[in-house]
Amino acid sequence: MTRILVVGATGMLGTDLMTGLADYGITGMGSSQLDITDAFAVDRTVKSFDIVINSAAFTAVDDAEREEEQAFALNAQGPRNLARACKLGGATLIQVSTDYVFDGTAAKPYPEDARANPQSVYGASKHAGEQAVLEECPDSSLIVRTSWLYGLHGQSFPRSILQAGKARETLDVVSDQRGQPTWTVDVVAMIRMLIEAGINKGTFHATNSGSTTWHGFASRLFELAGWDPSRVHQTMSADFPRPAPRPAWSVLGHTAWAQAGLRSPRPWGAALDDAWSAGLSAFASSEERV
């Protein structure tokens, strides 16, 4: 049986990886069980596995601007340690990355081989992690980029918007950032496809297809909740200044899936409908049950 290690197993994506790959010989470790910045601990742990999925990351985008050293330690040195250990032990590393490696200035979906040009510390640290993995383990590693990720576990845009919708009459949501809302369960399904196909090299974009703005995403959530979407007002990013810049364009292309003979990702709206039925709707109720 294929032995899989999920690093970052207690996070939003990691939790669904543990569920969605439960029929494999799977082990999950959170940060309290494995510090990926500790090369010795990584070497000792990874040698027992065939596949390592790294979903651990410093994801606080704004905090990374003032905690650069910590962000690079977790997002760049951690993956390097994992890649070295995987190469030594003959394992495949699946490195989860992000749309923030791009500058957000495009007008069409970023292809998998588009030039990276991160504009934030978070993006730069994740790009450094990608480079480290490819340097250390070029023949047995996958870069899996995702964006606008949401799920039933932990904080996410839907939870925040629906909580705010219960508390406030109107919401201001930016309409000048465009991306692909992506359900964690679909990311797990895409990673599973790669594993089952025996693909152990390349870069894939694990995002739901199509695109919308944050305003469009919020409006659709209001519609699903049975609320008036006109309560969601459009605003601009400049009205909400943040320490770290956000990409205005986070739409990723999916050419690699077809080239590998695999199913392309489904539309974000279809995934959101299923996520709603699976439990996202609880965030709109008077008492959250998820």
Report DSSP letters for 70-86, one per residue.
HHHIIIIIHHHHHHHHH
And the tokens for 263? 């199913």
**Which sign, positive or negative, has the C-alpha torsion 187, 193, 196, 198?**
negative
**Which sign, positive or negative, has the C-alpha torsion 146, 147, 150, 153?**
positive
And the tokens for 84? 């070295």
Which element (helix H / strand E) includes 25?
strand 25-29
- Helix extents (H) in 66-183: 68-72, 78-89, 121-136, 157-167
Which element (helix H / strand E) includes 146?
strand 141-146
Q: How far from the centroid of its chain's Cα atoms is residue 154's Cα?
A: 13
Identity (one letter) of the amino acid at 110?
A: Y
Catalytic site residues?
122
CB 54 within 8 A of CB 82: yes
Between the alpha carbon of residue 268 and those of residues 15, 121, 149, 175, the distances in Å are: 21, 28, 11, 17
And the tokens for 257? 């899936």
Taking the C-alpha atoms of residue 284 and residue 21, their distance in angstroms, rounded to an integer, is: 29
Q: Which residue has the tokens 């190469």?
A: 87
Q: What are phi and psi of 58, to 5 degrees?
A: -85, 105
